[in-house]
Each structure stands twice: as structure tokens, then as C-alpha cells.
Amino acid sequence: MRQQVQLKRSCYSCGSLETYLDDGKSPHWYINRDKEDNSLCRKCFDHLIHGPKIHACRVRLVINGIRIQLPFDPRIGVCNWCRGVRGIDCRKTDLHHDNDIYDITNPLWNTIELCSTCHGKETWRLTSNPALLRGEG
């Protein structure tokens, strides 16, 4: 009868001796074939390998409930109305379609970049006056 030998592994990135457990029973180590000492814990795998692949080239936008992925980030970090700079004057900026006019074939057409404060004001202005949404105002 064979005996199973438990290998003592450690993460080459952080030195941890623990990783998450498969089905709560046995440890699951990730293998990085580019390294000689190639075991990675789950946390380092997500940070070093999995995370950069996911976030490297994709920005998701939602337009009229339709999710669209772009290969680049169209935001520059400056509000078009108050000229607030992301990280200095405001926390984040949002893309907003001017007067809620959309073109699904060209999702960035007619968009402006607004800080959260200005975006809230514009959304309130459009939703409080239905005539603006119909193009009558």
C-alpha cells in the first residue's frame, strides 16, 4: 500500500506556509512554471498573476442596461463642468451621456466626464424635468 507524502510548501512571494483549502480538506497551491521554487498561496496568486490579467486591458461601461467592454479607459480624470481633478478635488469621475442621448454602436459618442457631485446634479436635472428627456427642453 502506498503512503501519501505531504510536501511542506511555502509561497515564494510572501513566505506563507498556508493557503486556502480545497473542499475544506487539503491545501491548494498554485504553480508558477516560470520559477524554480514555484508554489504560490491563493492571496499572492490573485495579486501577482490572476489580478493583472483581469484588470490589464478592460473597462466595463453600462449603457441603458447593456454592459460594454472597452480595451482602454476613456476617462482622463478631470470633470468637464467644475474642472475638478480625480484624487485631488474629487474621489472619482463618471462618464455621462449629454442629455441622455445614446448610440450603442459608438458608446463613447456624446459622453462627458463628470465628478460625482456634478453627475448627481445633472441626473437630478434630467429626471426632475421629463421634457428634457424627450428633447423638448
Structural domain that includes position 73: 58-133
Same domain, 62 and 119: yes
Domain stop point among 56, 81, 100: 56
| Model pLDDT, residue 120 | 92
Looking at the structure of the chain, the number of domains it has is 2
Q: How many CB atoms lie within 10 A of CB 125?
A: 12
Strand residues in 8-91 grouped as ranges (E): 21-22, 26-27, 30-31, 39-40, 59-63, 66-70
| Model pLDDT, residue 132 | 62
Task: Check pLDDT > 90 for residue 81.
Answer: yes
> Number of C-alpha atoms within 13 angstroms, CB side, residue 50?
10
Same domain, 84 and 34: no
- Which residues, including other chains, have CB under 8 Å from residue 53's CB and lie 6 or more apart? none
Q: Pairing between strand 93-97 and 26-27?
A: unpaired
Same domain, 118 and 73: yes
Same domain, 71 and 23: no
Q: What is the pLDDT of residues 46-74, one digit of tens each?
A: 777 766 555 555 677 777 777 787 878 88
Check: pTM over 0.85? Answer yes or no: no
